[in-house]
Structure 1
Amino acid sequence: MKPIAIFEEKEYIDGRPRDAITIILKTVGCYRAREGKSCLMCGFIRDCVRRVLEPDEIVSQIDFDRIEEGMIVKIFTSGSFFD
Structure 2
Amino acid sequence: MLPAHHRLAEIFQENLKGPLTEELFIELQHCLKANADYCLDMNFLNNQLIQARRTKDVKWETHITAQMDWLRRTGKVVMQ
Same fold (TM over 0.5): no
Q: Could you say which structure has the greater relative contact order, defined with CA pairs below 8 angstroms and 6 or more residues apart?
A: 1
What TM-score results when the alignment is normalised by the length of structure 2? 0.25
More helix by share: 2
User: Which structure has the greater CA radius of gyration?
Assistant: 2
